[in-house]
Structures are given as structure tokens and as C-alpha cells.
Amino acid sequence: MTRTVSAGKFPKIRIGNINGDLSVVGWDAEEILIKADEDELILDQNGDEVTFNCNDDVSLRIPREASLIISKVSGDAALRGVMGNVEIWEIENDLSIREAGSVAIETVRADFNLRGAKGNLHVRNAGGDVSIRDVEGSVTLDSAADDLALRGARGNVQVNVGEDVVVYLEPKADGEYSITAGDDILLVLKPSVNVTLAMRGDKIDVTWPGIENQEDVTERVLVLGDGSAKIMLNAGGDIRVTNDAEAGNSAEDFGNFAGMNFDWSGFGERISRQVEHVTARAAKRAEEAARRMGRHAERQARRWKGNVNVGGWNWDVNSQGGPTPSSHPSEPVAEEERMAILKMLADKKITAEQAEQLLNALEGG
């Protein structure tokens, strides 16, 4: 079902419970475009306030300056181009945000990715990895279970992370930055920086012209430039401070960062692809009624044969590692076959790379 609701330029949108994936994209129109299963959607409007609940996936296009309150999403959530205030209470899986205003989040139970916020960002709890880039205001992360990558924070920073941190900072005068990590911290600064560094960790390594490392110290205070900004680093593992802009690309040299894979060169593009992937999947599954497609997928699975099992599906694999279709004449790709692969990806039975290979194989690519 596709439905349009007039809402004005600055509506207040409340999303109650979504028992599936959620996609929200801001646009210039003064109306809300809804794509969802009509039988599963509950909608209520009172003036410029609109409330949604749905027992399935939902895809929304909303006025760009709308304010957005999300209570709970049982699947993944993706937001893009929502420049009003965003308040999120609970996301059960992954959350991706690109181009937003101010963002306040209570809980994300899996990974959280953000690129571009015009206001402040405050996250209370993240259950997985966190990637943040280009926040005009302050960044506050009360608790993240896994790793953090942070770059382009214009305001103050206060983060508490269970594992490793890679952070690129350009401290402002009199700015305050507090970074706590359960394992290692890699801090990258510009050569002309003016900061006072207070560091505590198992090992402290400062790679900086004119600065000598001190052997066997676990605490150190260091003044660079006029020392006007204040940075506090507290690590359960090692600390490394450097002015090498490429340090994050080879973080495996610094201990536990090997698994974090911080290649900043394509950071924005990767986040964009994640947002677009979740957005497309939510809209598609809503339009096609994913539950019915699941039943089609099961029937289709019984027809497919091969040698290698990927997420419960059997495929032949060629010498290049990609799946090859069976030798019978090619047929047009049924939509339920596409949905079956996307469903396996959503259920994390296969990786995104494997899903792409399977789709290419179905299309004869």
C-alpha cells in the first residue's frame, strides 16, 4: 500500500511500535508518503501531529524539517535527511543515520552508524560497534559495548566504550574531550594542535616531533601548543597519540585495532550504502508483503540444487568463489527469489557480499 498524508512543513511525527524494519527519508514536500502493508498499519492524525504503528516493515518520506520520535523498532532502522529533532528510544537491530539535525538515542542493541548531524548527538546505550562522523554539535556516548570510530566532531566529546577507540580530533580552543575505552585508544591530531593531554593506560606511546616517549609510564600529562583544549584519555589497554593522518588506515600496527578495519577513505560511501540498503529493503518488503514472500521462498528453496550451502541454500561455486546458476536454460528472475535472498541477508544467514553474488548469479551476471 502507498498512501499520502498532508502534514505541513514542520509536522511532529510519532512512531510507536514497528515490528519490522523502518526507513525514513526527508524530502521537500509538505506531506508524508507511506509504504506499508495496509492490514498491519495503524495511523492517526491530529493537526500537524501524526502517529504510526505497524506490525510489519514501514517506509516513510516525511517533510525534511519534521521532528521525529521513535519508540521501538524490532528490526533495522535507517534515517536520511531528517533535519528536525530526532528522538529514538529503542532499536532492536542496527541503526543508520545520514544527514540529520539533533539526535538523541536511548538504546541501539546492535551497530550504530551516523554521518552528518547539524546539532548535538547523545547516545545512552549501543550494543555493538559505533561509527560517527561529521557532527556539528557535541558528541556524548554514555556506553558502547564494542568499538568506536569517531571523526569530525566539532563540539565537545564525552564517550565511554567497552573495547577499542579510533578518534580523529581537531580540538577547538577551550574544548573538552573525554575518551574512556576498555581496551586501546588511537588518537590522531593535527600537527598545529593546541591541547593539554591527560593520559592513563597500560602503555602510552606518543609519536610526535620533538616529544620523547617515557618508558614504563602508565600516566602522563602532555602540553602541545598553548594547551587551551583539554583531552582526557583513559584506556584499559594501550594509548597511542600521533599526527599521522593515515594512522587510522593501518591501525593494525597498534595492537587490538586489527579487527576494526578503519579505512577512512571510503567511510562516507560505506555509510551511504548501508542506509540505502536498509531503506530499499524496508520499502520493498513492505510493498511485497514479506511474510507471504517467505512462504514462496521456502518452496523455491526445495527446487534449488548445488554443492555449497550458504545460509541454508545450495549453490555451485566457481573457481573465482562466486555462485554459478544451474545449467538449465536461463529464466526470468522471479521476485520471490530476490526476496528470499534479501530475507536471508536480513536474518544474517549470509553476508552482504554473498547476497550480491547470489543476486548476480540469478540474473546471469
Residue ending a domain, choose from 242, 259, 276: 259
Residues 297 and 357 in one domain: yes
Given a cut of 60, whether residue 263 has pLDDT beyond it is no
Residues 249 and 295 in one domain: no
Q: What pLDDT, on the 0 to 100 scale, is given for residue 339? A: 67
Cell (9 digits) for 275 = 542506509
Percent of the chain with pLDDT over 70: 71
User: Tell me: the pLDDT tens digits for 34-67?
Assistant: 999 989 999 999 989 999 999 999 999 999 999 9
| Residue 164 Cα distances to 20, 180, 266, 280, angstroms | 31, 9, 20, 32
Q: Is residue 72 part of a domain?
A: no
Residues 253 and 293 in one domain: no
More confident residue, 245 or 326: 245
- Half-sphere exposure (Cβ direction) of 61: Cα atoms closer than 13 Å: 13
Provide the 3-class DSSP secondary structure of residue 257: helix
Cell (9 digits) for 219 = 600516566
Q: What pLDDT, on the 0 to 100 scale, is given for residue 199? A: 97
Q: What is the mean pLDDT of residues 259-264?
A: 43
Altogether, the residues listed in the chain come to a count of 365
Domain that holds residue 238: 165-259
Question: Are β-strands 112-117 and 130-135 bridged in parallel, bridged antiparallel, or unpaired?
Answer: parallel
Please tell me the total count of domains within the chain: 2
* 361 phi, psi to nearest 5 deg: -65, -40
Q: Is residue 207 part of a domain?
A: yes
Cell (9 digits) for 208 = 610526535
Q: Is residue 118 part of a domain?
A: no
Alpha helices (runs of H) in the chain, residue ranges in sequence order: 267-288, 290-301, 335-346, 352-362
Residues 246 and 312 in one domain: no
Q: Is residue 43 part of a domain?
A: no
Which residues are bridge partners to 122 per DSSP?
Answer: 104, 140
More confident residue, 363 or 1: 1
Given a cut of 70, whether residue 109 has pLDDT beyond it is yes
Whole-number average pLDDT of the chain: 82
Q: Is residue 331 part of a domain?
A: yes
Q: Is residue 32 part of a domain?
A: no
Given a cut of 50, whether residue 324 has pLDDT beyond it is no
Residues 170 and 246 in one domain: yes
Q: Is residue 147 part of a domain?
A: no
Residue ending a domain, choose from 244, 259, 274: 259
Residues 187 and 243 in one domain: yes
Q: Is residue 83 part of a domain?
A: no
Given a cut of 50, whether residue 256 has pLDDT beyond it is no
Q: What is the mean pLDDT of residues 205-218?
A: 91
Residues 231 and 192 in one domain: yes
Given a cut of 70, whether residue 213 has pLDDT beyond it is yes
